[in-house]
Homo-oligomer: A and B are copies of this chain.
Amino acid sequence: MALYLTVLGSSSATPSLNRHPSAFLLRSDRMRSLMLIDCGEGTQIQLRRYGICMQKISHIFISHLHGDHFFGLVGFLLSQSLLGRKNTLHVYAHSPLKKILKMILDVDKTVLQYPLEFHTIKSGTHVLLEDDKIQVKAFPLMHSLPTHGFLFKEKGYPYLIKKSFLETHDISKQWVERIKNGEAYVDECGKSYPLEEIAEKENNLRSFAYCSDTAYYPELVRKVKNVNMLYHEATFMADLENAANDKKHSTTIQAANIAKAAKADNLLIGHFSARYKDIRPLQEEAQTVFPRTLIALEGVTFKI
């Protein structure tokens, strides 16, 4: 199993020619549909640019209601309607967005031609979505508006049956299910097969945590403990820590400290201030604390 994260927008509030406002696409091997995380202005054009089928997006998660995280949403919703979408779209966001959407659609005199389900993100930590394939949890960040991070965890059976065993034994569907859930197999003749001989622990279910926008917030560490990839905003370099504190954003070093304390496999930084034309120094600075720091380059897909 794997998760794949495509960067669509890596800019902070004022976009530049090469950096768009926040938007990320997440795909899981376990899901047919796609998930969009934040939807800054121009996201629908970025999706086109990178050849992503927009109708496959089933869930959109909006971290907070600063414009650079949602100004592309209404355009996306309207275009989907014009393009003939019929399948349900789930939007997860803080409650005022529902009123904004309603007002704009009313003025536009548009009735979307597909079901739109709005799910309110509440305060505190809570599960937004859970099925047999994925769990998505929201947890609070520290910013100037109510803001949540999201933790995506692939779900699956605790055990994988060994291929060699499947090839040499004719196992019923029911038994496949029972073994994957950790039961030793007993065949028709009463012969017992210890679990460790016929199956191995599934340790390839992946997790991704998204934290944008936030001030340095050590509370985060326990929320994102041991994730395979942590996206943490790094609007500023360390010399602008005071500006970061004032604006409730983070520096490269602060992001790296969170990743280190959380024992993340990898850290991805983004939400870069427009003042940085060259963003490699931000990566290099974060790497002094957390060497496995990657940088959000638009159009790049990271396998998690």
Contacts and interface: CB of A to CB of B under 8 A. Distances in A.
Interface stretch (A11-19, A176-184, A207-215): A11-19
Interface string A61-77: 00001111001101100
Nearest to A79: B14
Interface string A89-133: 000000011011001100111000000000000000000000000
A41 interface: yes
Given A17-B48, A48-B16, A49-B17, A75 B41 contact: yes
A62 to B, nearest CB: 12
Given A104-B100, A107-B100, A144-B109, A78 B67 contact: yes
A31 interface: no
A295 B281 CA distance: 44
Nearest to A21: B75
A232 interface: no
22 contacts: A13-B78, A14-B83, A15-B44, A15-B48, A15-B75, A16-B48, A20-B45, A21-B75, A41-B41, A41-B75, A42-B45, A65-B107, A66-B108, A67-B75, A67-B78, A68-B78, A71-B75, A97-B107, A99-B103, A100-B103, A108-B145, A109-B145
